[in-house]
Amino acid sequence: MEEVKEMKINGEKANKELKEKITEKIIEEGRRQEQALRKEVEDLKRELREMREREESWRKEGERWEEGLKKVEGRVGNMEKRWEEKEGEKKGKVGEEGKVESRVRELEGKLERREREERKKNVIVKELKVGEGGRREAVERLMAEIGAKVEIEEMRGLGRNIERGTETLWVKLKKEEQKREVMRRKRELRGRKEIIREDLTWRERRMEWKLEEIAKEERRKGKRVWRVYGKVRIEEEWWIWDEENEVLRNGKGTAREEGRKKEEGRIGEGRD
């Protein structure tokens, strides 16, 4: 009888311990799920903030360009009005049209130079992993790893790759010398996934794209090619990009054959 009573007590004790363990597991699982949910919510909030920052950045840049273009359009409109007043005079008309085109190119050049001036201290950092310390700490750490001493004035996110867990950042440095040092030392990133690039204007990006296309074509022909900003060396000869006519020219000013044909085509069209 005592043995039965003891077995009953032991069974009740075992059931109680089992219930306690199950309760603990349920509580622990609940905490784990709660933490995971909180992290997911924080990630979503952070991503939403970054999206808003990008949208605001794009909006401001769009407003700045729109303002510049309105000024150009206004001036062009005034010039066109003056040209129309002299429409009956063939020579005057042709001359005024040339002046309008020349003025437009001049204004576009001023806008381009101003934008390049504004970007002189900027770099773009791609494929950067941002840890708990935040973007600034991640950029400063990367710069220290390549041996560049910099002071960061401003930065903003340009995009995020959730799958790889990396970000693309726009970074404004305090001095142009610091930017030049970064661009000299970025070769230390060879073999790594991080990328540091110039903050180029639309026209500069177009130039770099065209130079890269030319370089690829020459390499396909088996030629030795080396490319830097605004220049390309094919075999032993350096060619410099002529932005106005969008052709390559050698040290003597001679246009490269492929580009010369395009240039002559544009000049011929203007004479018709």
Least-confidence region, from 46-55, 63-72, 96-105, 261-270: 261-270
CA distance 214 to 259: 10
Q: Terminus-to-terminus CA distance in the chain, angstroms? A: 121
Residue with tokens 């010369």: 260
Give me the pLDDT at residue 262, please: 47
> How far is residue 223's CA from residue 126's CA, in Å, rounded to a whole number?
31
At 7, the pLDDT band (50, 70, 90 cuts) reads: low
Q: What is the pLDDT of residue 98?
A: 63
pLDDT of residue 41: 72
Question: Coil, strand or helix: which one is 243?
Answer: coil
Give the pLDDT of residue 260.
Answer: 47
Report domain 122-199's class.
alpha beta
Please provide the average confidence, as pLDDT, over all residues in the chain.
79
* Pair 126, 195: CB distance under 8 Å: yes
Position with higher pLDDT, 66 vs 129: 129
Average pLDDT of the segment spanning 165-177? 93
- What average pLDDT does this structure show over 189-210? 88
* pTM score of the predicted model: 0.51
pLDDT at 49: 76
Cα gap 192→167, rounded to integer Å? 15
| Tens-digit pLDDT profile for residues 77-93 | 777 676 666 655 555 54
Q: What is the mean pLDDT of residues 212-220?
A: 92
Task: Determine the Cα–Cα distance for residues 37 and 48; give it in Å rounded to an integer.
Answer: 16
The three-class DSSP label of residue 228 is: strand
Task: For residue range 111-167, list pLDDT tens digits in order.
Answer: 888 888 888 899 999 999 998 889 999 999 999 999 999 999 999 998 988 888 899
Give the residue carrying structure tokens 């032993």.
236
Contact, 249 vs 242, CB < 8 A? yes
For the chain, the structural domain boundaries read 122-199, 203-271
Give dist(CA 88, CA 151) in Å, integer. Answer: 61
Task: Give the other-Cβ count within 10 Å of 256's Cβ.
Answer: 18
Q: CA angle, 63 as apex, 59 and 67 as ends, to 5°? A: 175
